[in-house]
Every structure is written in structure tokens, then in C-alpha cells.
Amino acid sequence: MFDQTPILVGLEVGTSKVCAVVGELHGDGQLTIIGLGQSPSRGVRKGEITDLEQARLDIQAALSEAEQMANVEIRSVFLGVSGAHIRGFNNRGVHPITSEDHEVTEQDVHDVIQNAQTINLPASHEVIHAIRQHFLVDGQDGILNPVGMLGGRLEVDVHIIHGHVHRLQNAVRAVRELHLEVEDVVFNGLASALAILDREQKELGALVVDMGGGTTDYVVYTGGILRHAGVLAVGGDHLTNDLASGLKVALSRAEQLKVDYGAALVDDRIRGQTLDLTNEFGATLRTVHLEHLRRIMHLRLEETFELVRQEIEEAGLYESLRAGVFLCGGCARIPLVSQLAEQVFGLPVFQGRTQAVNGLKTALDQPEFACAIGLLKYGAQRRRPALRSRGLMQNFTQTLRELFFRR
Amino acid sequence: MSTLSMEAPQSPGCSRPPGETPAHALRLFGVGTAGMRLLSHLAARQALPPTAWVVLPAWDPMPTLPEELRCLRLESAARLSWGAMGDPDSARAMAQENYDRLSEACTGAEWVWILAGLGGGSGSGMAPVLARAAREAGARVIAVALTPFQWEGTLRHHQAQTALEELRAVADGLVCLPNQKLHPLLPQPTPLLEAYQRVNELLGQGLEAFFDLMTHRGLVPLPLEKLCALLRGRHAESVLVTARAAGADRLAVASQALLQHPLLEEGQTLLAATSVVIHVTGGPDLAVGEVDGLVQLLGPRCGHAEVLVGAAVRPDWSGELRVLLVVTRRGERLVRNGQVHAGATAGPEVLREVARYRMQTIAEAPAGGDPLDQDCPGPSHAAGGTAVPNGNPRTYAAGRRRNPAVRLRQGMLPLNVLPRGRFEKTQPNIHRGEDLDIPTYIRRGIILD
């Protein structure tokens, strides 16, 4: 807490892989990625840890690889979490301005955001993020920063992302057991959106769909602010499972078939084409139809996109997505998935590209790394205020405040 | 708009000259012991159509019946031992022998309803024959079949499944009432003797509500033609779900009971349905909000099903509320089964079945009374009632099939466990009533062959 090193680490414990990205934060707020570590994940199902010991080993492997590459010692991480238990909703907090001159101070802003977080959650849930959307001063809407304004009543709209406390703590424990500090817990979908969207796209309205191995996280930005977030516990694992069940092959074979021959659409050219499944000596065991393989994948992906679309429509945000849909996560690699998403959403669909990050550019501009890079950007945003030069007294009060008000 | 009219009473012995019957005549048959009990139960609760028959084999002791019911006892020329009880084959042979009497009893009816408990001898054996006789007599047949509890053993279960398949092939509409599904509704320490009584009560409530729907004009009426069209269809399968509540919070109680009803299988049944009829009956104080509330509650759970809503008001039902759901499914798989039955490419099981039929009919009813066509004796074929060109059974099946691939949903057998593969041991992933861990192609009923 007291030594704010310019090294940031984003750690994503995913269903298919554990990924750690090391970044260096420069004085001007620029971020350079200096290291990357990966490990296949074996202790996670549908975004949630099911085998703590295994997950710990995988995290250790990924972190040590990243340490070696970046040549730094990792002490703290920003941890990405996901899982079907994570939900998002909008809430409003109110705070009266009691000072004599009715000027809104930073303390008031802090208090009103605290008020907005006092909500009626189930006892087993805790708030992961309370993201401010708009302030209202005496009912005047659309205020982005009310500090210094005059008014009698300050309100704030926040988007609350909350999750099951024990399942969140499982991931945190796995990291703590490695004697590392978890600086903050971040929702994966939010991290991906931070990595992919630039300011203009956030203004116009964009949907980010991060379809990973075990979960599909989605986040909607419009007017520059986060409006909606959610998780579906469906991902690439489900594709593999569907294929294994439909083609009657083992899971490992299904995974291989998915990677080698999978696509999101069934085109006419592949009708009647077959694949020979061979054993290790090259003898043909059985034959599967390519069309069946594609159809099984098509149905699952189409359904998943339809469910996301339904959620967005129910939140009343579909009409405001003018920048389009951005796909990332491992499933964004599936051939023709953009075309399928265009059919389902009826909007332009793009492969998400990580913006405004320096270093290792080509190696990192992959849809799978969007989340981990987003974790770094989140971390950079969190730390930036601390890097501003402040007076000794201010620094001291800030430190005290952090001591008392941190979660 | 019309309702089914009840027929004028008629003595069982006299044969009626054709052409004198009213247009929508409904006739009820209770087949076997279970059918008889259910019918007596209904008779005790409300006025039945005057022509309600109980069909019993000769080996059953003569029961004491309420006077509204008439008994049709089937007799056999061959002396059947008491050991024939509980054997569907003997019962089938006996019904086959009395085929003419059965057809005569059905003559002139527009609709024939058959209540039968499957699994035992008489119900499983005689109900399909009666259905066929009714079809040939020109009536439309709705079969209401009870399937046994699981603890009644595999033999009865198997017999019930076979009979169910036969009925499905023969009847115009099949309403399936699985006893096992009603098990959770019984209180835990129910004595065995009481269990059947309680189940009969539950089923009786459903049937009573269903008859009300068919025979009474409601406040918000459902067109009878439409209702019949929903139930008809060669391979339609329906379930009846009722909930009844009284008092100030009746809407809440009834909704709760409906949602937790085991026959709805946590909403799966509604999602897979092709049509859902919601019928609300209440007293003069039936509020708009109650009907609206129910439709709001059930409508979104019905997936792509066609939802019909009806309401009726009874002057003496003040403060009461009864909801009836008729959930009908026309599975793609069921249609495919039907084609197999009608077509020449019958599976081994069907062939075995057909062979058994033949042996029965040749051995025990040799004197020309065999209604089965010797060339192509599929159960559905004989039941068609129309002349079928012998060499072309497939076009017949195709002509019968309505509107193929309206919705691709998997038709599910009641006790099927769907594969979740690698997610077998994880928490179920329920989203809007569907378990997302089950492969999409299975939930949508896509067949890969």
C-alpha cells in the first residue's frame, strides 16, 4: 500500500487458461506491457474455482513465467473474476450537502457513492464494483463531475456489479496462498471492455461480448458510461461438450475437432463432407459428418448470442448500440463467428482489438488477452491519482482515507 | 361457438338407427378397473354425459356402479382361466372378439373419450382396441391414459409403455397422466390404499375441469373447434394441470401450486409445448387482475407455444379460483415414430408387436371377425378408418402429418435424464427455465442422423 511501484500485474484465472500480464506504468499514464505468462487451467469450471489446489499451481506457473519474462518480482495483482453468480444492476444514491456555502466537495462525492452502495443484496453477496454513471445536483441530470458546484442535494446513479462472496473469495484465497497481495478484484467483462473500447466507442454505445472457455461476459457502454453488465455460464467448454455428446467422441477429440474444423456457420459447401477419425496408428475408427459438427456449434453459438441479445433488449439498451458489437475471448477466434453475431444482433460486429497499450503489440493483440490487458488498464486507472504530485498533508490524509475506506 | 352437447340417454341393449344422433355427441368409456374407478369418481362429483360406459372383461367380478354408468362386459367364447387376469394379451384378444359390440357402442358419437389405467391387463389390452373400434365407427378419439407408479415394477411399466405407444398410434389425441409424477403431491406417510384414491382425486379434479371446459360455454369462451384442433393430431400428447384455491390470496396460492406442479417439470413442459390452454374458472367476484396475473405469470414461460386463454364464471363459486392448463406437445420425434408405424420400414419392436397381434387374432378369433388387414397390419393402419391404398402407406402418413417442423423441440420421455457431459457434477445452469449445460441441439430437438 505504501510503496506504489510502477509495476502492475493483471491475473485472469479463466476456465481454459490462467493468464498473467505484467505492465509498467509511466509517469504520463502510459502503460507498457513487459511480460506475459500463461498456463492451462485445470481447477476451474464455468469461471469458478472447483479445485483450489490445482488452481493455485496453475496460477503459480503463469505468474512465474510472467516474472521471468518481465524480469520483475510480482508482489500484487489485479485479479479478474467471472462466474454465473455475478450480476449487475443500476442504483441511485442520495446525499444532502450540509455545508453552509452549499458547495459540493470531494468528500460529498465520496459519501454519495458510499450511499449508493448501501443496497439490499442477498446476505451471501458483496459488491465488486460500484461504477458511477451520472451525478445529479438538485435534480439536474447529466453532471459528470460535481465538485465545486453549488447545490443542496447530490445524487448519483451507479452500476453495481455484485457476486457471491465465498466464490469470489475462493479466487482471492488461491492468490493469497502464494503470498501475493490482491490489489483489487475486477469483473472480467469490465476489464475486457476497458481494453477494447476507446472513448468514442463508449460514447456511441457498444456491446462487448467476452466469450471465454467457461463463461460469456457482456458489458454495455453508452454515452461514455457503463450501463449494463452480466454473465452467462456458457463458453467454449460447452461447445466441446456439445460436440462430444453429438458426435459421440471423447472430450479431448471433440476439442481438437472444434479447433481444426469448427466454424460458427453451416455453409453449403461442406454438406456431405466427412471426417475420418483415426487412432494413434492412423487406422480409421469412424467417420463423422462435418455438417453435424458445424450445426452443433452453430446452434450453441447462436443460442448464446440470442440470450445476450435478449438481456440487452430487456435492459432497453439495444437501440443505443450505435458503435456495434465487439467480440473477444477465445471463442472470438472461431471462423465466421462475426458473421453469425451480425445475423443475430443485426449490428456491425468487430473482433475486439486492444487499444492504447504499448509493447509486445503483435503478440498481445489476440482476443484471448483482452481481459488480462484490461485488468492492467483498470489497475492503471486506479493508481493514477496516487501518482499525482500532492502536498505532504494531502498525501497523509489520502493515506488515512485509504486505510479506513478501502474494502 | 358451440359446446359439446350431451347425448340423450339410451339403453345399452338397443341398437340405434344411424343418423339420429346429435352433432357433437360426447361418449365416455372407462376401460378396466382403473378406468371404472375414475369414472365413478367423476360421476360422484358432477353430472356426466348420460352415455358413460364401463368396459370390463368377464373375469372381473361385477362391480356395484352408480346408476349413471352402464357396464359393457366383454365375454369370450374360449374359456379363459382366472390366470388371464393382468395379462394384456388375453384382454386384447377378448376385446378383439367383442369388436362388433365395441363398435356398436361407439356408433353415432362424434367424440369418444377413453379413460384407462395402463399397466394392468384389461386397460392396456382393451383400450387400444376400443380406440380403433371407435375410429372405425367414425368418432374422434381422445385417450386419457394413466401410467403406473414406478414402484409397481418394471413389468407393469413396460406393459404401460407398449400400450401407450399403441394408443398414441391409434387415438386422435392422447392425454397422458403419469401417476409417478403425482407422487410428490401426496403427503409423505400416505398408505398404499389411500394413494390410489388420492391420485384418483387429483386426476378427477383435472378431468372435471377439462369436461367443464369442453361442455360449458365460458365468459371468455374458447372456440370449441380451436380446442379440438389443438387436441387432435395423430401424435399429440397433452397433460392436464389444475390448481384450485379459495380465499383472499387465492391468486398467489394457485400460482404457486401451478409453478410447483410436478407435471410441469420446472417449466420444461411449458417450454417444449406447442400449445397451452389457460382456463380460469371463478365465482362472480373473479377479478380481471387474477386472469391477467395468471397469463402474465405463465405467458413468458411458454416459449414459442400458442397460448389460448379462457375464463368462466360459476355463480356458486364465490371466492374460489380454479386454473386448468392443457399443455399439448407435438414432438418431431413422435411424428417420426408415427411414420415408422405406418410405413413399411417398421423397427424390430413393431414387427414383434405385429407378429403377436397376428398370432392372437388368428388363434383366438378365426372366424372372419379380424379387422386387421392381413397384408399390412400396423396398429395405426387399421385405425385409420379410411381406405388406405395398400402399396402406398407413406403418402398416407404424409397426408396425415400436419405442418411439419413448426417448432423443433425435443419430445421427451417422462423419466429421461438428459446428458450434461462434463458438467454432470456441477451446479445446474438454469437460465429462463432451460438448463444451458445440456447441448443446444438436444434441447431444440435437432436430430443428427
Residue B374: band (very low, low, confident or very high) from pLDDT cuts 50, 70, 90: very low
Does residue A171 carry a pLDDT above 70?
yes
Task: Tell me which of B409, B427, B436 to substitute to probe the interface with A (most A C-beta atoms closer than 10 Å).
Answer: B436
Residue A160: band (very low, low, confident or very high) from pLDDT cuts 50, 70, 90: very high
Cβ distance of B439 and A237 shorter than 8 Å? no
CATH number for A87-162 (one of 3.90.700.10, 3.40.250.10, 1.10.3470.10, 3.30.1490.110): it is 3.30.1490.110
Which one of A232, A241, A289 has the shortest CB-CB distance to B423? A241
pLDDT tens-place string over residues A115-134:
888 888 888 999 999 888 88
Does residue B79 carry a pLDDT above 70?
no
| CA end-to-end span of chain B | 45
Cβ distance of B423 and A45 shorter than 8 Å? yes
**Number of A:B CB contacts under 8 A?**
61
Sequence-separated (6 or more) residues with CB below 8 Å from residue A250: A244
Residue A280: the pLDDT is 78
Residue A299: the pLDDT is 92
Q: Which residues of A touch B419 (CB under 8 A)?
A: 245
pLDDT tens-place string over residues A325-370:
999 999 999 999 999 999 999 999 999 888 656 666 666 788 888 9
Distance from CA of A301 to the nearest CA of B (A): 9
Residue B46: the pLDDT is 67
Does residue A215 carry a pLDDT above 90?
yes
Distance from CA of A242 to the nearest CA of B (A): 5
The residue ranges of every structural domain in chain A are 87-162, 198-353
Does residue B373 carry a pLDDT above 50?
no
DSSP one-letter code for A217: E
Q: Give the torsion through C-alpha atoms of B415, B419, B422, B424, to 10 deg.
A: -10
What cell numbers appear for B125 in the block? 389390452
Portion of chain A with pLDDT greater than 70, in percent: 91
Residue B418: the pLDDT is 65
**Do the two domains A87-162 and A198-353 of this chain adopt the same fold?**
no
pLDDT tens-place string over residues B110-163:
878 888 888 877 888 888 888 888 888 888 888 888 888 878 888 888 888 888
Q: What is the mean pLDDT of residues A146-159?
A: 90
Residue B345: the pLDDT is 34
Residue B376: the pLDDT is 35
How far, rounded to the nearest angstrom, does the alpha carbon of residue A134 sit from its chain's CA centroid? 22
Task: Tell me which of A170, A234, A241, A251 to substitute to probe the interface with B (most B C-beta atoms closer than 10 Å).
Answer: A241
Cβ distance of B429 and A234 shorter than 8 Å? yes
Which one of B436, B439, B446 has the shortest CB-CB distance to A245? B439
Pairing of the two strands A87-96 and A274-278: unpaired
Residue B331: band (very low, low, confident or very high) from pLDDT cuts 50, 70, 90: low
Residue B286: the pLDDT is 83
Does residue B105 carry a pLDDT above 70?
yes
Q: What is the mean pLDDT of chain A?
A: 87
Residues 279-298 of chain A with CB under 8 A from chain B are: 289, 292, 295-296
Residue A394: the pLDDT is 64
Instruction: Write b or e for each residue in B396-414: b if 16 or more Cβ atoms lie within 10 A of its Cβ, otherwise e.
Output: bbeebbeeeeebebbbbee
| CA end-to-end span of chain A | 13
Q: Is the pTM of this model over 0.95?
A: no
Q: Which of A200-204, A245-249, B282-286, B300-304 has the lowest mean pLDDT?
A: B300-304
Task: Tell me which of A240, A242, A247, A294 to substitute to probe the interface with B (most B C-beta atoms closer than 10 Å).
Answer: A242
pLDDT tens-place string over residues A57-97:
999 999 999 999 999 999 999 999 999 899 888 888 899 98
Query: Computed over its alpha carbons, how large is the radius of gyration of chain B?
Result: 22
pLDDT tens-place string over residues B399-447:
344 444 444 555 555 445 567 777 877 778 888 878 888 888 888 777 7
Q: Which residues of B touch A292 (CB under 8 A)?
A: 448
pLDDT tens-place string over residues A256-270:
999 999 999 988 888
Does residue A211 carry a pLDDT above 90?
yes
Does residue A208 carry a pLDDT above 90?
yes
Q: What is the 3-state secondary structure (H, E, C) of B285-352?
A: CCCHHHHHHHHHHHHHHHCCCEEEEEEEECCCCCCEEEEEEEEEECCHHHHHHHHHHHCCCCCHHHHH
Q: What is the mean pLDDT of residues B84-104?
A: 80
> Is A250 within 8 Å of chain B by CB?
no
> Is B437 within 8 Å of chain A by CB?
yes
Query: A198-353, superfamily in CATH?
Result: ATPase, nucleotide binding domain (3.30.420.40)
